[in-house]
Amino acid sequence: MTRAQTLAAVAETPGLLSSDFDDLGVTLTPAGGTLRVWSRAATSVELVVFDDTDLDWITDAIALEAGASGVWSVTTPLLRPGTRYAIRVDGPHGPGNTFNPGSLLLDPYSKGLVNPHFEDWRSVVVDGGFDWGGVGKPNVPLDRTVLYEGHLKGMTKRHPDVPPALHGTYAGLAHPAMIEHFRSLGVTSIELLPVHAFETEPRLLQHGLVNYWGYNTLNFFSPHAPYATEASRKEGPEAVLREFKGMVKLLHEAGLEVILDVVYNHTSELGIGGPRTSFRGIDNRAYYRQSADGAYIDVTGCGNSIDTSTDAASRLVLDSLRYWANEVQIDGFRFDLAATLGRDAQHEFTPEHPLLQAILHDPALAGVKKIAEPWDVGLGGWQTGNFGAGWHEWNDRYRDRVRNFWLSDVDYARRASTAPVGIGGFATRLAGSSNTFSNERGPLASINFVTAHDGFTLRDLVSYDVKHNMGNGEQNRDGADTNRSFNHGAEGPTDDETILATRRKAMRNLLGTLLLSSGIPMLTAGDEFARSQRGNNNTYCHDSPLNWMSWEYAPWQKDIHAHVQRLIALRQANPALRPSRFAHDDEVVPSASVIDWYDENGETMSIDRWTNPAHRTLQYDAASTPENEAPNRILLIVHGNERPIDVTLPRIEGVERFVSLWSSADETPSDDHEVFAPGDVVPIVSTSMHLFRME
């Protein structure tokens, strides 16, 4: 079957889009509320209502009636804003079924939660009313998007200009001091680590640790209450949601987008024997991937994996996205372990999966940025480049090649007198990864990153050869062993100024590559100030200064910040650096960049120059073919070994001069825009970059 036929078949089959799944959860009316719960195998479902103040006191219990497609429902005046409730579900026994009519379970569509006891939760009915005051989404164009990935608590916990009552909160993130930082830096879109309600795994609690990152979702519709201010938490779930929406509104007023990192691939119920809070008690067999004997098929490494081959489970994900995108005005989503969402009933990944297609084509999600982490840990789980048009993907090939070029290749060359590879692979990543993403998708399909929350920070990447994760309680076994890092001569902190200067230049090279490459760049919060995690490359379990951003910086760290500011500004000012499409030799492609490559002598790159490890120098000439902006042309010199070199600027028809814009050799960004002529010789220091505008 062709792709077009597959999509047509999906469109003709209601499946997860069936109206039978409409209005699940609580819908409020003037007469009360209607609760609708899906369970394919249940034999009874019961609504349990609690006292407003004593959450152990059951005041009412009402049976739900069975309806079409496994949906159970009840309408009652007891369901009103503020009602605390749970559900109890009974059903058959046997492999894969874990029904227990005594378990108090969360409504999967809860918009608010309260927690009377450890591992004991109640759903809360919320009204959700909010005055957006006419503030709309910024709708930042894709080519101008600069992502800033950070932890909501960690970004503000220690900020001296954010009031202490707002430290680590939704309100704190929208404080003028934070907005000023984001805007002055130049980023456009704040990508938050998980903010859906989540729990800490029992294993971590036994070690005195917590799940700090939040990749352990309890509920897909409720904001994580501990990130709200104390005042909002005391007032209740309605106030927590209102504070979250207030954060989004203020960031939107400042022109900043809000992207959520969402974890739909597994839940905090974990493997068999883990907590029973919702899905496991409602219909374990239908919500989680299992073999015939009831054993979980784990493709996430977290014990349980959501079975998106079940229409109702897929619809739950889609409805959650609709809710956050419209009711909460979220601008985009980064899907954790997105390959899991695209696995069919045979547990094999397909980009034509009904859920992936519904996310792309649902009118309620039009204009929402959709970013896939294109892998999971199951068989066939690595799918970078395979998600199809409309998706943007974390590009691990970009990350690895850029790290190799500036770090591990240089380390290798110090020991072997030559680098292991030439510059060709690096150039492909610089120009948009056309060997990974199709012409149809273009360079903006690639989310370029050098660091992320998971792994070394930028500073640690140039300061440590190996991970130092002893504080995680797993004897340094956790975290990636292959980091493609280079300590430049000393492991961790050092007073050797030569090593420190080389590390600073290495960071500038990595930042320069990230922010001058074709594609959508993602900067990790704190890298603009060279934040360190002391060599820990898996800090998921530390809610401490190890993860919290410090806002007191040495002069050299402020210099790094200034470089990031300059690079983002140059990216926005030069459309040749941010093409939307790949160019073609036989036609003019609007919003592309026509690329020519020259060697250090100003001559067209030869095959030998591309592949020879001894020649790791190129001149990257990109000329825009704009639709809405003035024509623009840049030249970027990249020099990838530790020997200085003289580079002859190319003689190009129509180019009369080269204006210097930025160099990674400078400790602080230079405002001296030196002008060069074609054929001039430019001295380039070891392992560095130099950007020019051609006029």
Q: In this structure, how many other beta carbons lie within 10 angstroms of the beta carbon of residue 323?
A: 18
Length of the chain: 695
Quick check: 446 and 520 in contact, CB under 8 A? yes
Quick check: 215 and 263 in contact, CB under 8 A? yes
Q: Residue 597 corresponds to which tokens in the numbers above?
A: 């490559």
Count of H helices and E strands in the chain? 18, 25
Q: Burial of 527 by CB count in 10 Å (0-12 exposed, 13-18 middle, 19+ buried)?
A: buried
Whole-number Cα distances in Å, 224 to 33, 169, 199, 306, 479 = 24, 10, 9, 21, 25
The beta-carbon contacts of 359-367 under 8 Å, at least 24 apart in sequence, are 359/318, 359/321, 360/388, 360/390, 360/391, 362/318, 362/321, 362/322, 364/322, 364/325, 364/326, 365/321, 365/322, 365/325, 367/137, 367/139
Residue type, 26: V
H-run or E-run covering 639: strand 633-639
Longest dimension (CA), the chain: 86
Distance CA 577, CA 151 (A): 28
Q: Residue 115 corresponds to which tokens in the numbers above?
A: 């927690």
Q: Residue 617 corresponds to which tokens in the numbers above?
A: 């120098």
Q: Residue 589 corresponds to which tokens in the numbers above?
A: 């492609």
Whole-number Cα distances in Å, 72 to 21, 66, 316, 524, 678 = 11, 4, 15, 44, 75
- Catalytic residue flag (residue 331): no
Question: Which of the following is catalytic: 238, 243, 331, 336?
Answer: 336
Q: In this structure, how many other beta carbons lie within 10 angstroms of the beta carbon of residue 344?
A: 13
- Catalytic residue flag (residue 373): yes
Residue type, 652: I
Quick check: 102 and 88 in contact, CB under 8 A? yes
Question: Which of the following is catalytic: 269, 331, 373, 621?
Answer: 373
Q: Give me the phi and psi of 669, to 5 degrees please.
A: -60, 135
- Strand 392-394 versus strand 112-117 pairing type: unpaired
Q: Burial of 294 by CB count in 10 Å (0-12 exposed, 13-18 middle, 19+ buried)?
A: middle
Distance CA 314, CA 355 (A): 6
Distance CA 276, CA 263 (A): 18
Distance CA 433, CA 518 (A): 8
Active site residues: 336, 373
